[in-house]
Amino acid sequence: MSKAIITAAITGAIHTPTMSPYFPITSDQIIDNTLRAYEAGASVAHIHVRNPKTGQPSSDLELFKEVLSKVKSKCDIIICTTTGGGAGMTPEERVAVVSALKPELASFNMGSINFALFPLLEKMKEFKFSWEKQYLEGTESFIFANTFKSMRVFCNIFNGTETKPELEVYDRSQADSWVEGIGKS
């Protein structure tokens, strides 16, 4: 029988709490979901954290420390932290979690992409949090930027912390760009 590696993405950054009644927001909810995924057979947990009061994606290192330390104290799942950050953050800010916590894995986005969630507004009329509607509307013109320069910054920090990249390829052109661009440097 061949082996498989199962990665559980516990809570993402592009999703909003209104999208699911099961959406983990607090550190305790994220920890509980991670432990349940491990018990169900996941060997990797892709971790984002959120502001526990507003449900918004966060890059708060204290929240990451809390989640990672509590998870690691209870199981040996491999942790893959996000480097997605937030709109307007520098590459160094986005990868600060790697510099500070040196996880086994961290996300390495292979190129820029449009996360166009604005069509969901036709289906959603009420929101759990006031920021969600504006956030979804903003995805019509938002580009999640991952430039060759930012990828080089990530590579340098990953190498310095011995963190392995979890390559996130959203389309074929990103794989081709890697081979032609940063992969040769």
Strands 105-109 and 49-50: unpaired
Question: How many structural domains compose the chain?
Answer: 1
Q: How many CB atoms lie within 10 A of CB 104?
A: 14
Query: What is the pTM for the complete model shown?
Result: 0.89
Asked if residue 131 is part of any domain, the answer here is: no
Are 79 and 72 in contact by the 8 Å Cβ rule? The answer is: yes
Is the per-residue pLDDT at 86 higher than 80?
no
Asked if residue 158 is part of any domain, the answer here is: yes
Asked if residue 20 is part of any domain, the answer here is: yes
| pLDDT (mean) for 76-104 | 90
Question: Which amino acid is residue 39, in one-letter code?
Answer: E
Asked if residue 151 is part of any domain, the answer here is: yes
Asked if residue 109 is part of any domain, the answer here is: yes
Asked if residue 149 is part of any domain, the answer here is: yes
Summarised one tens digit per residue, pLDDT across range 7-51 is 999 998 889 999 999 999 999 999 999 999 999 999 999 999 999
| pLDDT (mean) for 86-102 | 87
Asked if residue 138 is part of any domain, the answer here is: no
Residue 145 CA to residue 88 CA, distance in Å, equals 9
Q: How many CB atoms lie within 10 A of CB 150?
A: 19
Which structural domain, as residue segments, surrounds residue 59? 7-114+144-173
In 3D space, the residue among 14, 9, 26, 18 whose CA is nearest the CA of residue 144 turns out to be 14
Asked if residue 122 is part of any domain, the answer here is: no
For residue 38, what is the domain's CATH number? 3.20.20.70
Summarised one tens digit per residue, pLDDT across range 99-133 is 999 999 999 998 888 888 899 999 998 999 999 99
